[in-house]
Amino acid sequence: MRKISTLAVAVTVVALLLACGKKPANPGEPEPPKAEPTRLFKPAMSYWNFERTRREMGYKAWETVEDRRPLVSDKRPPFRLLVIRVPEFKDHGVTGSLVLWFYNDRLMKTQFYVANIKDYLKVAADDQGVAIGNEGSGGISPHTKVWLGKDADGQTYLGMEDEILKGQMDDWIVRFSQAG
């Protein structure tokens, strides 16, 4: 009976050690960023779903640019990339084309195309919380990447992206894109 009790205690201790076996963070390494909403194109926040984004941003018409999703029979974890374009979107008196990227129904990225990006930034940069450095990029806390871009057609835009969501999408692609 004593052997069984000792064995039970030993098994319990081992189970507890395994359950608590998470490695402590190295004191010199920064903690990985938390997956929390971050500001994108004001008032939008990352992680908003499609319907909330539409409602909060106030657009009624949009065009689907891209809608990638696996077949129903696909056994991989979910992956959906929906990219929409809102033409004639107005912000701070400037009309442009707003492109919104949703990864698994979570707003991940925005691009606002305007004829003159420098004029737009003069009126909107402070309100949008955007500070662009000389190299054409910057950030918004906690983890929004901000940049000035130019697409293949030469159109300029202000881009904002949740770096953590983008990383999750990139990880999915690396891990599962060859599996389906």
Distance CA 31, CA 158 (A): 29
Other Cβ atoms closer than 10 A to 151 = 11
Tens digit of pLDDT per residue, the chain (180 long)?
A: 565 555 444 444 444 444 444 444 445 545 555 678 999 999 999 999 999 999 999 999 999 999 999 888 999 999 999 999 999 999 999 999 999 999 999 999 999 999 999 999 999 988 888 888 888 899 999 999 999 999 999 999 999 999 999 999 999 999 988 755
**Helix (H), strand (E) at residue 156:** strand 156-162
Comparing CA positions, the residue from 162, 29, 150, 55 lying closest to residue 106 is 162
